[in-house]
Chain A
Amino acid sequence: MILAEHLSYTYTPGGVFEKNAVRDVNFTIEDGTFCGIIGHTGSGKTTLVQMLAGLVRPTEGKVLINGLDVHDKKIRLNELKGKVGLVFQYPEYQLFGETVLEDVMFGPLNLGLSEADARKKAKAALRDTGVDASLFDSSPFELSGGQKRRIAIAGVLALSPEILILDEPTAGLDPMGRDEILSCISELHKREKITVLLISHSMEDMAKYAQQILVMDGGKLCMHDTVENVFSHGEKLREMGLDVPDITRVILSLREKGVNISPDIYTLSAAKEAILRIWREKKCSEI
């Protein structure tokens, strides 16, 4: 369970460039939840997740993971070591290993695993992210952007974190690469029952994968609710520079035209079913 209590973060307190990145954020996320985080650029999402991972010390408030304080150095280096995995934006810029395998093994080796165990973990993580075994011994710098991204994500997965946080893992990827990466994370979430926090600007991805959504605006937590409830506040989301999924917009304009269709439709497959049902009913009544 992740518990955030009165989390605040201020850049250069007292200075000329003082800026409140995160203001008094409170929430609880149960184990095994797939939670999305949305918000406009500069709304404090990145700072928030870095605090959750214990990398940035909050100016005020605290983060408890399973009741343990993340910002206690002793706890972070012992009980919580490797428990929270954070994939940064553009993680491929952090690759450094001579070979793909060596780079992914960096994490598990830091956790104190033996060479053989680390290799096993690394191979499993690479397989999970869809990296072909033939690439294991090549240099990560020779590969394509999408492959580098997978390797970097595998580098975090190899730690076997209980909580996996991803900061826009699909930014700059083509649609296919995006779907592949997200579905492998979704699969991992279902198989290993890990908690996943995903920052994304794509409402479609949120609708497809997330169970809950945290909405950040101007450093504050505006909403924390199920996907259905969050997307039912379309007006409010638009005020924050966000939106509902494209398909929901289609459904809403259908409703405006007088079609009797449920407004809580966020995915393409649900929309397809609903529209087909209405179509069939209409045909039946015509006959």
Chain B
Amino acid sequence: MLRDITLGQFFPGNSPLHRMDPRVKILWTLFFIVLLFFINNFWGFLIYGLFMAFVIGISDIRPRMIFAGLRPILYLLIFTALLNIFLTGGENVIFKLWFLKPTWEGLYSAGIMAFRLIFLVLGSSMLTFTTSPIVLTDGIEHLMMPFSKIGLPAHEIAMMMSIAIRFIPTILEETDKIMKAQTARGADFESGNILRRAKAMVPLLIPLFISAFRRADELAMAMECRCYHGGKGRTRLHVLHLSQVDYYSVPVFMLLLLGVILTRVFL
């Protein structure tokens, strides 16, 4: 039941996208997201759509998996679209019902908003789909390095992130197990009103918290036993370096930029 979450999952593979340097991939993802907010008409989204199709095409990941990642934001999408349709002021009212006055302008901005959200999720999930969490945090650490000059603990933040990511499946498994164990003792997590359900969570949450603290303790101890002392003077097993794919990605993204600029200027 808890295993159906695809957002933020990693699918191992050997596509050009998988081979790309994580630093480059993170920067391009940021670029992709920022550029997304400069689009102001549907031609821009058409270009984004074509680009996305290209990226998905070379990624070796089944499109079904990618679109499954959109399911969790479905309600958010509908909600923002409705807000936009009904609350955007404008001249061209579609129909009037009591105080509701949906406008064509609202419909237009709802469409823009929905596409933005969809591409936002698709773009960022392409990053996590093709980059293993360890490599991803490695990349983040590198990108944060310049800020360590002004006192940002880049290595520590990256280490905390990779540990947190590492423990997601473990904690999910633990939750599943404790839930089953308490169900076997007659606990009921599924029926009753909100208050009853919240109360039913106590036998689940207490063991979960205790085991999280126990694991943290044990991990800290194990790290100290192996002489971990933070990032200073630490060398790496896998040194990141740029490859051909990373150079090839530059013209591709420049084309995307050019396309978006053209749609803004001419259409």
Binding site for B on A (CB under 8 A): 12, 16, 50, 53, 55-56, 77, 81-82, 84-86, 88, 91, 93-96, 106-107, 110-111, 141, 155-156, 159
Binding site for A on B (CB under 8 A): 3, 11, 174, 177-178, 180-188, 202-203, 206-207, 210-211
- In the bound assembly, the distance between CA atoms of A110 and B186 in angstroms comes to 5
The answer to whether A85 and B184 have CB atoms under 8 Å apart is yes
Q: Chain A residues with Cβ under 8 A from B207's Cβ? A: 93-96
Q: Chain A residues with Cβ under 8 A from B211's Cβ? A: 93
Q: Chain A residues with Cβ under 8 A from B177's Cβ? A: 88
The answer to whether A88 and B203 have CB atoms under 8 Å apart is no
The answer to whether A81 and B186 have CB atoms under 8 Å apart is yes
The answer to whether A88 and B186 have CB atoms under 8 Å apart is no
The 5 A-B residue pairs with the shortest CB-CB distance in the complex, in nearest-first order:
A110-B186, A96-B206, A107-B185, A86-B184, A94-B181
The answer to whether A53 and B184 have CB atoms under 8 Å apart is yes
The answer to whether B178 and A94 have CB atoms under 8 Å apart is yes
Q: Chain B residues with Cβ under 8 A from A84's Cβ? A: 184
- In the bound assembly, the distance between CA atoms of A155 and B207 in angstroms comes to 14
- In the bound assembly, the distance between CA atoms of A50 and B202 in angstroms comes to 23
- In the bound assembly, the distance between CA atoms of A16 and B64 in angstroms comes to 13
Which residue from chain B places its CB closest to the CB of A50 in the assembled complex? B180
18 pairs, A vs B, C-beta closer than 8 Å: A16-B11, A50-B180, A55-B180, A56-B180, A82-B186, A86-B181, A88-B181, A88-B184, A93-B174, A93-B210, A93-B211, A94-B182, A95-B207, A96-B206, A106-B187, A106-B203, A107-B186, A141-B210
Which residue from chain A places its CB closest to the CB of B205 in the assembled complex? A96
Which residue from chain B places its CB closest to the CB of A165 in the assembled complex? B184
- In the bound assembly, the distance between CA atoms of A91 and B211 in angstroms comes to 12
The answer to whether B181 and A110 have CB atoms under 8 Å apart is no
Q: Chain A residues with Cβ under 8 A from B187's Cβ? A: 106, 110
Q: Chain B residues with Cβ under 8 A from A95's Cβ? A: 207
List 13 additional A-B contacts (Cβ < 8 Å) besides A94-B207, A155-B185. A12-B3, A50-B180, A93-B207, A93-B211, A94-B181, A95-B207, A96-B203, A96-B207, A106-B182, A106-B186, A106-B187, A107-B185, A156-B184
The answer to whether B185 and A156 have CB atoms under 8 Å apart is yes
Which residue from chain A places its CB closest to the CB of B186 in the assembled complex? A110
Q: Chain B residues with Cβ under 8 A from A85's Cβ? A: 184
